[in-house]
Amino acid sequence: MTPVSVAPTGGFLTTGEVARHIGGTSQHVRQLIKSGRLAAIDIAKGNGRPRFRIAEAALADFLRDAAVIAPSEVA
């Protein structure tokens, strides 16, 4: 029998992929997850080191919340 990946498919990103999107490192992304600023799921299910996956929608929410609006743009 061929093993089946437990990783979610479609619409989910690894910490490395998210790091490239935000111009950071995988470690920084893990810190954002652990601090609660970025929502993620752990697909490792408690077996060893966490293996996080981040929904594309969660990344979009994080980026929207982190956006800085210049004072001239505030109505």
Q: What DSSP assignment string belongs to 29-58?
A: HHHHHHHTSS--EETTTTSSS--EEEEHHH
pLDDT tens for residues 21-46? 999 999 999 999 999 999 999 999 77
Residue 45's pLDDT is 79
**In the chain, % of residues over pLDDT 70:** 83
How high is the mean pLDDT of the chain? 86
Residue 22 to residue 5: CA distance in whole angstroms: 27
Q: What is the pTM of this model?
A: 0.75
* Higher pLDDT, residue 43 or 7: 43
| pLDDT higher than threshold 70 for residue 1 | no
Strand partners, 5: none
Phi/psi region, residue 10 (left: phi>0; alpha: psi -120 to 50; beta: rest), is left
